[in-house]
Structure 1
Amino acid sequence: MKIISLGDMNAIYVISPEGLVSFSMVPGNADGARWEKGRPDPMVQISCLGDSSCIGFAAGMTRHNSGMTMSFTYVSQDVTETDQRKEITTTLKSPDGMRLEHVVIYKKGSRALRIFTKVYNDSDTDITIEALSSMSLSGITPFAGDEATGRLVLHRFRSRWSAEGRHAQDSIEDLMLEPSWARFGVRCEKFGTTGSMPIRGYFPFAAVEDKEAGVIWAMTLAASSSWQIEAVRMDENLSITCGIADYEFGHWRKVIEAGSSFATPECYVTVAAEDFEMVCDRLLDVQKDKLLDNQRVKDLPLFFNEYCTTWGEPSEENIDKILAVIKGRGYDYFVIDAGWYADSVKGWQDNMGDWRVASDLFPNGLKSVVKKINDAGMKAGIWFELEVVGKDADAVTDTPHLLTRDGKVIISGTRRFWDMRQKWVEDYLTKKVIDFLNDNGFKYIKIDYNDTIGIGCDGAESYGEGLRQCVEATRKFYEKIRREVPGIAIEVCSSGGHRLEPGFMELADFLSFSDAHEEKEIPVIAADLQSLILPQKSQIWSVLRASDPLKRIAYSISAGMYGALCISGDVFDLSKEQWEVTDEGTAFYKKVSPIIANGVTRMYGPFQTSNRALKDYQASVRYGDNGKALAIVHTFEHEGPQEIEIPLEEGYVVEDVFEAEGHDIRISDSCLKIGFDQAFDAVAVLLSR
């Protein structure tokens, strides 16, 4: 056994007498870990065409511990270290000339690791692989000498359209992951997503909690297309394996030609004797490490997006009216959303792909509109859904450049898809998107994506590999936008949050958190997502209506303080009193944005069993690294007056408050106490020491 210290974590490598290598992690200060129980469970899971499945009814369910996996044995381990990082490369080989490198990267000061696998074909014949893990963590839990009955819990985050990031937790027993009496029969809980919207059903996240030991192992996969995670049990130990969706789950099959190699997506992993919120925060360290220099901000911008004002009917006239209202109110970006390219007959919803400015909406073009936005003190942004072609676009007939499956153009709803691998498509989109941004002076692009390719496409060894290649080409085009448009900020959107995975998130400056534009569940979704994405990137709708009571306006704006605040709605029709509350809220947001950008959040209140029928309350305290804190409290359906108490760290006092119509707010006995008389009200409190 080898133990390698990585900050406050230890990486554990257990080498069996046969040379099989298992990988695990424990907190650096943990005592009592036991590694002698159970059978070897290799650190890389790989399977090829013609491979044998594991004994115990695994075929069609999992490739875990396949014949190929069990053929790889230990060769060497290299540890390289600099002032900034430590990297561990463990090499394995099989008798048929295949070589694996399991790579662990630790950036000093980080509380999470980056792990990936690289496979080399050193033989003289091609080989087709059908499964390959980014990471396989075994030996859970080493703090029990048996199968740890009643103490292991699997944490996941579910997702649906307009309901992203719902935390779910299941006992290992409820998932039927207990080993059998004979230690025979593979137990496997497999979940993931197929297609080009990777957050459709689940986030690529898993955590296992040993409730008795107080230790949690957590991981998230940077998977921009089809992915899978497996919780597998064959004996006393539980293992968690993640990677590209395999052949059975995602129709992924890839030829590794003789002399060539292939690297998996990265998986981010951590372990700690801390609670679930703090373990999730540890995983965000990798996203922080990957921030660009200009993204390491102390203050967050204030956005205005006209979509929930015009509902797809932007025009120079409408924008002039909006600018007359919001100019001088502190907005940093003005985003022109969908519809600027609308056909005068067919409309805007299904003619994406041609990208011609609607001359009836913008008779003077968009460059003059951008100048007006700039003259009003804001940077101008524009919406694109660049990967698709709508059914009403002229480009819909350009079938040689569209994705196909079995020779037929892929149609999802009303959309077709460009083959992003083609040079012609890259050149076309460079002209239509990149040149357009530069020619008109835009400094912000909202890139949306509103349907999925599905299981995959033609043009590669398998549907799944075709899909992976297309999405990787999309990612490269995002990178090209950043390179070739000076000062551009990129928002990643996919019908709200369908691309909120690390691979796409790291390409973005901002992220559309959800399409729940003006719903009461916004604070719940936004708060849940703080466990998965950096709040500084999470752009949250705050849609204001002329019919909103003042407390509802405070409710909406306070919800936006779980990330980067984006205002929209009936700005022409808000009353003087409504604008006063709005302006107070946006000024308060700017004051507290350093806490939102750099801090750690603690959540309080009952778990909401329904996002659509919220009960009682939700509260949070975000402790900033500037010595201040932001408390946000939302009340939901309840009867009678309500006093909510929120525990605080010692020494805080109230510095400022954002509210509508007054509340009893005080601190006593190290608790922030706020009185509410009505449902669906909110208060945000700035605390200082």
Structure 2
Amino acid sequence: MATAEKPTEITFSNDVVKVSLHVDEDGSVYFQDILPAGAPPRAQGTAHFASSATPLCEVRLSGERNSQSKTSKALVGSYVGTRLKYKSSSISHQARQKVLDVTLHDEQTGIAVTCHLTLFDGISVLRSSTTIHNEGKKDVVVTQISSLVIGGLTRFNEWWSEFTVSSATNTWFREAQWHERSLPDVGLDDVGVYQLDQGHLAPMSIFNVSNRGTFSTQGHLPIGMLKRRDNAETWLWQVENNGSWKWELGDWKDDIYLALSGPDSNDHDWRQKLSPGETFTSATAAVCHLFGDADAAFGALTQYRRRIRRDHPDHQHLPVIFNDYMNCLMGDPTDEKILALVKPVARSGAEYFVIDAGWYADDNDWWDDVGAWEPSAKRFPMGFGSLLDRIRAAGLQPGLWLEAEVIGTRSAEADALPPEAYFQRDGARVVEKNRFQLDFRHAAVVARMDGVVDRLVATYGVRYFKFDYNIEVTQGTDVDCSSAGAGQLGHNRAYLGWVAGLLDRHPGLVIENCSSGAQRMDDAMNAVHTLQSTSDQQDPVRYAAIAAAIHTAVAPEQAATWAYPQPGWDDETNALTVVNALISGRVHLSGRLDLLAPRQLDLVCRGMHVYKEMRRDIAAAVSFWPLGFAKWHDDWLAAGLRVVDGGGDGSGGERGAGKCYLAVWRRGGQESCELPISFIMGSKDVAISLLYPEMPGTKLEVAGSGLRATIPSKIGARLFSISWS
């Protein structure tokens, strides 16, 4: 269906959500609402909701900054945004999804902007991106283009007291840590809103979270949440770009707006020149709005993540992966060390054996010498192929670690490619931590790395790659592009295309996304890569706070979490590191399995057996957090996986028979903790089973408005199965 005749309202829906756009008399378009299917229109509690609406798209061109009273540091208030008028709209139907395209036109410059809105069957999440097309006769330079802008989020007269905003810090060793704040605490308040002189639409306050550089999630996850204090309404959003991005909340007249964006000029040195006839498409973004709590919103987002990613059999099979790095060989593999591990690894129940860093170097001084990606004859005198044959003979599939995007400054390969194949600024090659950054826009880079991967697959039968990335380039590259930020974005997109090409040629290959743990844990990467490393944290007790919150960032069946038992740890600590991985959804086994006592190895084997029994449910499960999102220093943590039948989005309200897995950690404090779990309450028959580990004194029982967990040890973790009817 397509129409060029100007409507007053455009509606767009699937079976669970309805999207409404309004077109005013002048042809400006803005979001009217995003609501669960069947929900009545929200009451317009503010006095002048219409003035709280923001343009459907915000675009800034070079030289044009701020057209209205909001600061030009904001993502709203652009000249082009106010000039864009309705031109046409169409709805197309694709496999299990539909797309609404709304095209707007700016008569002054001749540019056309098409907003692409996508809904997937059965999922209450809206996906959005924006394409700009220069239909004029002159070049234009775009300095900002939004992925999604929505005004009038709350419809509350006192929105500043009724809602809170949450964001997640994400740093090396301390990933996915959520922080909730009041709106006044981030500078969004009623002060001055109702005392502004006529014509002023808002004060200059904004709250934004952004990232610049090749570590897309270093510092923060590209995710945010706005929810009512009574948990009756939640907005949840994310930006999907494996580089620079930004999201912001701000007050606009009588309410709050949300704006999501990839790189822009202000924060990321991004500018895109468009000659007549040329186009550019923004980063994608997604938003969910429902009348429920954070658990329900993340349930919907989890199912959305499953829908947008590349299909791979690994997501259903969920094999156990052993990797020899963390708290094990730590980048120093040899024939002798690997062979000592093979037998206990096979006995543990692992299905892959991944040789991590160091396999290509004769000694440990390899950081700035990487790039040839040939196995070391000194480390593996029996022959690398023979070693991998021994791994296969034990029933394990071999895998390797690789940093595809860098070449060390001391490497013999450092000058093997044309100068334009590396990131540059002002004619100088970018150097970061004694590595050069390769630019995957260049055909020679793609050809070289295709050759490396194809050779390792063909010669050695490698079936798994851990693609790591351990430098952060904030400079971008100014080679063959409009700006350094545009060069970086081009590389980001070309890299994803390269990985997709590998999987096209090698469909059974498993490719893990790792970047100093989880410094690129975004949904552009996870939509292409098979699974995601969650941290490089080496302390299992601290890791528990990451494991308990990681499903806010990645689907359970992609969340690769370390379990690294040690011979010097007690049984409670070794069991805790296993529980971390069991509830996260993907086991990344490591640790000195070769040095464990038989009793200790049996404890690990029991954990892997439990995982293989529960993994059949993980790919259709959504997460819940009885104690809220884990805090880094909390004594008690809890996280669960609720099995969702029939592929529902888990967006809340389901009752009746059900099943879930619940992990509980004690890291101090009293020996018991109350756990409210609303969807179990009211059930007549609740069956609770302790799955792992079987330690004396452990209890989980119905008590009051929830469950009560008891763990006698001050440091311990338990995994339970709960069913109810």
> Normalising TM by the smaller chain, what interval?
over 0.9
- Looking at structure 1, the residues matched to 206 and 216 of structure 2 have their Cα atoms a distance apart, in angstroms, of 21
| Pairing partner for 1:66 from 48, 60, 78 | 78
Supply the distance in 2 between the matched residues of 1:12 and 1:594 (Cα, whole angstroms): 38
Counterpart of 2:312?
A: 294
Q: Contact 2:271/2:486 (CA < 8 Å) preserved in 1?
A: yes
Secondary structure class of the residue paired with 1:214: coil
| Structure 1 equivalent of residue 587 of structure 2 | 565
Kept in 2, the 8 Å contact 1:443–1:489? The answer is: yes
1:195-221: per-residue Cα shift (whole Å, max 9, x none)?
Answer: 011101111112222446922222111
* Deviation string, structure 1 residues 159-215 (Cα, Å, up to 9, x no partner): 111111111222222222236320443322222100011101111112222446922
Give the Cα separation in 2 of the matches to 1:83 and 1:485. 25
Tell me how far apart the structure 1 counterparts of residues 135 and 186 of structure 2 sit (CA, whole Å): 40
Q: Which residue number corresponds to residue 180 of structure 2?
A: 169
The aligned residue for residue 549 of structure 1 is: 570
8 Å CA contact 1:131–1:247 kept in 2: the answer is: yes
User: Relative to 1, partners in 2 of residues 1:85 and 1:419: Cα closer, same or farther, differing over 3 Å?
Assistant: closer
- Does 2:672 align with 1:659? no
1:592 equivalent to 2:614? Answer yes
2:28 maps to 20
Is 1:390 the counterpart of 2:408? The answer is: yes
Q: Name which of 64, 87, 106 aligns with 1:94.
A: 106
The aligned length equals 681
More displaced 10-residue stretch of structure 1: 190-199 or 23-32:
23-32
Q: Which runs of 5+ in 1 are unaligned?
A: none
In 1, the alpha carbon distance for the partners of 2:339 and 2:439 equals 38
How do 1:86-125 and structure 2 match up within 5 A? 86-95=98-107, 96-125=109-138
Q: 1:246: how far off?
A: 0.9
Secondary structure of 2:660's aligned partner:
strand
Mapping 1:483-502, distance limit 5 Å: 483-502=504-523
Question: Which stretch has the larger CA shift, 272-281 or 151-160?
Answer: 151-160
* Paired residues of 2:661 and 2:721 also in contact (CA < 8 A): yes
Percent identity (aligned): 21
1:439 equivalenced with 2:459 (yes/no): yes
Aligned to 2:43: 33
Aligned to 2:654: none
CA distance in 1, matches of 2:518, 2:267: 23
1:226 CA drift (Å) = 0.8
Equivalent position SS for 1:530 = helix
Query: Residue 86 and residue 419 in structure 1: after superposition, are their counterparts in 2 closer, same or farther (change >3 A)?
Result: closer
Deviates more, 1:463-472 or 1:356-365: 356-365
Deviation at 1:660, TM superposition (A): 4.8
Q: Distance in 2 between matches of 1:594 and 1:213?
A: 31
Q: 2:592 & 2:407 partners in 1: Cα distance?
A: 31
Cα deviation per residue 1:101-146 (whole Å; 9 max; x = unaligned)? 111111211221211111111112221100001111111123x2x3
Specify the code of the residue in structure 1 equivalent to 2:273. Answer: V
Q: 1:45 aligns with which of 48, 53, 58?
A: 58
1:656 offset after TM fit, Å? 4.8
Asked if structure 2 preserves the Cα contact closer than 8 Å seen for 1:165 and 1:529, the reply is yes
1:150 is aligned, of 161, 164, 185, to 161
Greater alpha carbon shift after TM alignment, 620-629 vs 438-447? 620-629
Query: The residue matched to 2:368 in structure 1 has which SS?
Result: coil
- Flag the 1:421–1:79 CA change in 2: closer, same or farther, 3 A: closer
Aligned CA RMSD, in angstroms, stands at 2.2
Q: Which amino acid aligns with 2:43?
A: A
For the residues of structure 2 that align with 1:681 and 1:363, how far apart are their CA atoms?
Answer: 43
Structure 1, 487-496 or 227-236: larger mean CA deviation: 227-236
Structure 2 residue 632 is the aligned partner of structure 1 residue 632:
no
Q: Report how far residue 661 of structure 1 moved.
A: 3.3
Q: Write the distance in 2 (CA, Å) between the matches of 1:12 and 1:213.
A: 24
Output the CA distance in 2 between the equivalents of 1:646 and 1:45.
Answer: 43
- C-alpha deviations, 1:662-683, integer Å up to 9, x for none? 2343534585444222211111
* Residue of structure 1 in register with 2:638 after alignment: 619
Secondary structure of 1:334's partner?
A: strand
How far did residue 62 of structure 1 move? Answer: 2.4
Shift of 1:623: 1.8
2:259 is aligned with 1:241: yes
Distance 1:517 1:397, change over 3 A: same
The structure-2 alpha-carbon separation of the partners of 1:32 and 1:304, relative to structure 1 and needing over 3 Å to count, comes to closer
Change over 3 Å in CA distance of 1:624–1:417 after alignment to 2: same
In the alignment, is the contact (CA less than 8 A) between 2:178 and 2:629 conserved in 1?
A: no
The match for 1:6 among 4, 10, 14 is 14
1:147 and 1:54 map into 2 onto residues whose CA distance is: 27
Give the aligned partner of residue 655 of structure 2. Answer: none
Deviation at residue 296 of structure 1 after TM alignment: 7.3
CA contact (8 A) 2:58 2:146 kept: yes
Is 1:282 equivalent to 2:300 in the alignment?
yes
Say whether 1:642 aligns with 2:672: yes
Q: CA deviation at 1:431?
A: 1.7
Give the whole-Å Cα distance in 1 for the aligned partners of 2:515 and 2:315.
25
**Per-residue deviation at 1:338?**
0.3
How far apart, CA to CA, are the structure 1 residues paired with 2:246 and 2:315? 34
Quick one: structure 1 residues 615 and 113, their matched pair in 2 at CA, closer, same or farther if it must change by over 3 Å? closer
Tell me what 1:423 maps to.
443
Partner of 2:344: 325
* 1:123-522 mapped onto 2 (5 Å cutoff): 123-142=136-155, 144=156, 146=157, 148-178=159-189, 180=192, 181-182=195-196, 183-211=201-229, 214-295=232-313, 297-308=315-326, 309-344=328-363, 347-398=365-416, 400=419, 401-459=421-479, 460-522=481-543
Residue 559 (structure 1) shift = 0.9
- Deviation of 1:84 after TM superposition, in Å, equals 2.9
Q: Is the 8 A contact 2:36 2:124 kept in 1?
A: no
Whether the aligned pair in 2 keeps the contact of 1:112 and 1:285 (CA below 8 Å) is: no
CA separation of 1:671 and 1:57: change in aligned 2, threshold 3 A: closer
Q: Deviations over 1:40-83 (max 9, x none)?
A: 41010100012141333623x12522112211111222223467
Change (3 A) 1:82 1:263: closer
Query: Could you list the runs of 5+ residues in structure 2 that have no partner in the other structure?
Result: 1-7, 646-657
Question: C-alpha distance in 2, partners of 1:241/1:278?
Answer: 22
1:351 Cα offset (Å): 1.7
Give, in whole Å, the separation in 2 of the partners of 1:606 and 1:212: 14
- The alignment partner of 1:269 has SS state of strand
CA contact (8 A) 1:55 1:185 kept: no
How far apart, CA to CA, are the structure 1 residues paired with 2:101 and 2:179?
34
Q: Give 1:5's aligned amino acid.
A: S
CA distance in 2, matches of 1:81, 1:239: 29
Q: Name whichever of 290-299 and 12-21 sits farther off.
A: 290-299
Give the Cα–Cα distance (whole angstroms) in 1 for the partners of residues 430 and 315 of structure 2: 41
Distance 1:455 1:188, change over 3 A: farther
Q: Tell me the amino acid that sits aligned with residue 427 of structure 1.
A: A
What SS does structure 2 have at the residue aligned with 1:569? coil
1:608, distance to aligned residue in structure 2 (A): 5.3
Q: Distance in 1 between matches of 2:578 and 2:95?
A: 43
- Partner of 1:354, secondary structure, is coil
Asked if structure 1 preserves the Cα contact closer than 8 Å seen for 2:310 and 2:528, the reply is no
Quote how far apart the aligned CAs of 1:16 are.
2.6
Q: Please tell me the residue identity of whatever aligns with 1:621.
A: G
Query: Deviations 1:544-573 (Å, cap 9, x if unpaired)?
Result: 111110111111101111220111112121
Once residues 488 and 294 of structure 1 are traced to their aligned partners in structure 2, the CA distance between those partners, rounded to angstroms, is 9
**3-state SS of paired residue (2:441):** coil
Q: Distance in 2 between matches of 1:494 and 1:213?
A: 34
Change (3 A) 1:492 1:590: same
Question: In the alignment, residue 71 of structure 2 is paired with which amino acid?
Answer: A
Deviation of 1:466 (Å): 0.6
Aligned partner of 2:718: which letter?
V
Shift in CA distance, 553/120, structure 1 to aligned 2, threshold 3 Å: same
Alignment check: 8 A CA contact 1:526 1:559 kept: yes
